Amino acid sequence: MGAAEGYPADVFDGADEERFATSKKARRELGWKVLAKALAPVKLAAFPDKTIPRFRTWLGGDEVERLFAKMYGELGPERREAKAAPTEQELASLWEWNASSLGPSSEADFFARMKQVEEGDATHVDGLGGNARNAYSPGFVQHVLGDYGAMAACDLDALSFESAPPSASNFASCFSREMPADAAVIKTSWRRNDAFVPDGLPVIDTSAAALATADTWKPSAAPKVKAGPREAYSVTMSDDAGYSLVGLHVMTKELRHWVWVTVWWSPDADGDFGQDRPEEIKQLGAPWDHYKMCVVTDFDEKDPDPRGGFEGSLGDALAAVHGKHTWCSNPFLERGAHNAQTNCIGCHQHAGDAKVLDSILSFPEAGRAKTRESFPTDYSWAFMTPPSPDTKDRFLEVVKRRMKLYANE
C-alpha cells in the first residue's frame, strides 16, 4: 500500500518553548497544528485516488520487531559483536524492504487486501490498518533501530529520581542521544460501533461544570449517541466488525520535552475544547470536526490567565482546570483512578522506571509535577512497560531477544 509516511516536524528553539509554556492560546494553536499534520491525507501507492490519515501509515510494534530482526541479522557477526549501528544506506534499504515485504501474509492475502481497497468504502480501506493501540513514526523507529546498543546496555533497575542526565544535551540515559524532532507516537482508543452495538458511542461531558469536580473518568456510565462514519472516524475489519476512534494521543518530539496532544470524540464538538478548531482541521472535513483537543508542553502552568485569553465555554473549561501544573486528560484513554486530573507529561517522565508505575497517581498533583532530573527513555513507555499486553511493544525486550539468539555465534 506504500511506505510509512514521516512526520513533518517543525523546528523550534528555547524561545518557542517558553512561548508555548506561557500562553495557552499559543499552545493550543500548536496542538491543532500537530494534529492536522498527523491527520493529513496520504495517497495509497497503488490507488492514488484513495487516502488514509498520515498516522495510519505508521508502524506497529510487530513491524518494529520485524525490522530489527532483519537489520540485526544482516549486520554480520563482527558488527553484532561490536554493537555497531546500521549505516544510513542500510536503513534506507530496510525501509524499502519493509514497504514491499508481505511479512507473514501470503500472496492470496495480499491480493484480497488489494481488492478490498479497490472495491471497499473508506471504512474498509482504513480497516486494513486494523485498530492497534499504538503506532510509531519512521523517525521514532529509526532512532530505536540505530541506537539499539545503548538500549541494550541500559540498567533500568539502577534508575532513581536523582539519577543525573548523561550530559547537558542528553537527558535520556537509555539512549546515546535524545529522539529526533520527527519522532512521533500515537495511542488510540476504539469502541465497537456497528449493527451489533445499537446504543452508539459514549458522550463525555468536558464542560467547566463537569471538570470542576472530575476525578475519575467513567465512559462506561456515560450516555450514548449513535454516530456514523461522518461523525466518528471508523474502520471496518476483515470480519466486518466496525470500530470507531473515540480517543487519540499524538506525541511529537518537536519540543525537547515533547508536545502532548490528545483528542476525544464528541457529538457537540464545537463547545469547550473544540471551540477554537482552526481552518486547517475544518478543511480535513468529516469526521474530524467531531473531536475536541487539549495539549501540554510543560509540567508547570506558566500562563497567569486561567482562561488563557479565551471567551465562551473554552475559557470556562480552561479556568476550571487551571492550577500550578498543566492539565490535559483524555476521558477515553486515562481510565485509572484520579486520571481525570493528569497531564500526560507527568506520567511519561517516569517511562522505563517500573518501580514507580503503580504509585504515579499518588504523587502530589496526581503526578503532574516534575520530579526527576533525567528522563531515562526520553518519555517513551514503549521502551519497557511491564503491564503491556503484548511484548512487541516493549522495545527493550525486542532488542534483547534478538541479540540473545546470536549470543553464542
CB 30 within 8 A of CB 259: yes
Q: Is 205 inside a domain boundary?
A: yes
How high is the pLDDT of residue 384?
84
Q: Is 43 inside a domain boundary?
A: yes
Q: Is 34 inside a domain boundary?
A: yes
Rounded to the nearest integer, the mean pLDDT of the chain is 92
Write the pLDDT tens digit of every residue in 347-365: 899 988 877 776 776 777 7
Q: Is 3 inside a domain boundary?
A: no
Write the pLDDT tens digit of every residue in 260-275: 999 999 999 999 999 9
Q: Is 6 inside a domain boundary?
A: no
Residue 10: band (very low, low, confident or very high) from pLDDT cuts 50, 70, 90 = very high
In angstroms, the CA 185 to CA 138 distance is 10
Number of domains in the chain: 1
In angstroms, the CA 93 to CA 72 distance is 13
DSSP state of 109: H
Q: Is 4 inside a domain boundary?
A: no
Mean pLDDT of 116-129: 86
Residue 408: band (very low, low, confident or very high) from pLDDT cuts 50, 70, 90 = confident
CB 244 within 8 A of CB 350: no
Grid cell in block for residue 241: 466488525
Write the pLDDT tens digit of every residue in 41-75: 999 988 888 999 999 999 999 999 999 999 999 99
How high is the pLDDT of residue 102?
67
CA dihedral 186, 266, 216, 219 (to 10 degrees): -100
Mean pLDDT of 222-245: 95
Q: Is 7 inside a domain boundary?
A: no
CB 331 within 8 A of CB 317: no
Q: Is pLDDT at 145 greater than 80 in this prediction?
A: yes
Q: Is pLDDT at 191 greater than 90 in this prediction?
A: yes
Residues spanned by the domain of 258: 14-405
